[in-house]
Structure 1
Amino acid sequence: MSEPQPENDIPGIDTEVPPSGPGCAECTESKGWWFHLRRCAQCGHVGCCDSSPSQHASKHAESTGHQFIRSFEPGEDWYYSYADEQMYDGPDLAEPQHHPLDQTTPGPKDLVPSNWQRYLN
């Protein structure tokens, strides 16, 4: 029988890599907005969720093969695997664990349209 892997040695999860920034990398670059944020557990890329107009977290997973994301929302520490479409518990990642507390959801505040709800997927 094989020994269980330590929490920080799960293939596809790197607990040492910090997040790429406080918001969705692609939305920030294109002056877009997001609903919720997801963090790639392998490389730290922060992308917007599948309810967001651009769905950058899923696109990142598809283009890189990085299967695990973790919520980048305050108070949420769940993981999701694109490979088997299941939710998981897992280790803490490198700080910070979530976007800044003063950052709005959706965000960023100055780029969110007043009728943002109609653009959600």
Structure 2
Amino acid sequence: MTEQIDGIDPSVPPSGAGCVECDAAGGWWVHLRRCAECGHIGCCDSSPSQHASRHFRSSGHPFMQSFEPGEDWYYNFGTEEMYSGGPELAAPTSHPLDQSVPGPAERVPADWRSHVH
């Protein structure tokens, strides 16, 4: 039997392949994070809009997992702790391999480095 952790639901799939709010607004991101409780995909704190952090503040869902290929670490916004692994979440576990970083490519400004945190 797999241990249950409050704030992590391994059965919930991700909300999509990119940051929900950036996609809706025509924005872009540096890296993606996945809420381990509800599957919301948000952009990282280096991104201009920092939607993963905003999701934590509005929802109270503490655990985010990297949504980058080859990465499985978790971050707990409530305790500000990182974990080098944890429960495997429902597939897919990252954005598509052919998706650009930063992305999506057609929305990333030429001077993108001057917009990151």
Report the TM-score when normalising by structure 2.
0.97
Identical residues among aligned pairs (%): 62
Could you tell me which residue of structure 2 aligns to residue 96 of structure 1? 92
Could you tell me which residue of structure 2 aligns to residue 81 of structure 1? 76
Query: Could you tell me which amino acid in structure 2 is paired with residue 96 of structure 1?
Result: P
Could you tell me which residue of structure 1 aligns to residue 113 of structure 2? 117
Query: Could you tell me which amino acid in structure 2 is paired with residue 53 of structure 1?
Result: P
1:55: how far off?
Answer: 0.1
Query: Could you tell me which amino acid in structure 1 is paired with residue 79 of structure 2?
Result: D
Structure 1 gaps of 5+ residues are none
Query: Could you tell me which amino acid in structure 2 is paired with residue 13 of structure 1?
Result: I
- Given candidates 38, 44, 50, the residue that maps to 2:39 is 44
Query: Could you tell me which amino acid in structure 2 is paired with residue 24 of structure 1?
Result: C
Q: Map 1:10-49 to 2 at 5 A.
A: 10-49=5-44
Q: Which runs of 4+ in 1 moved over 2 A?
A: none
1:6: how far off?
Answer: 3.2
Report the TM-score when normalising by structure 1.
0.94
- Measured in 2, the distance between the counterparts of 1:44 and 1:61 equals 12
Give the 3-state SS of the residue equivalent to 2:46 in structure 1: coil
Residues 48-89 of structure 1: CA distance to partner in whole angstroms, max 9, x if unpaired?
Answer: 000000000000000000000000000100000001101012
Matched, 1:108 2:108: no
Count of matched residue positions in the alignment of Structure 1 and Structure 2: 116
Query: Could you tell me which amino acid in structure 2 is paired with residue 101 of structure 1?
Result: L
- Measured in 2, the distance between the counterparts of 1:91 and 1:106 equals 27
Query: Could you tell me which amino acid in structure 1 is paired with residue 51 of structure 2?
Result: H
Structure 2 gaps of 5+ residues are none
Give the 3-state SS of the residue equivalent to 2:72 in structure 1: coil
Structure exhibiting the larger radius of gyration computed from Cα positions: 1
Provide the alpha-carbon RMSD of the alignment: 1.0
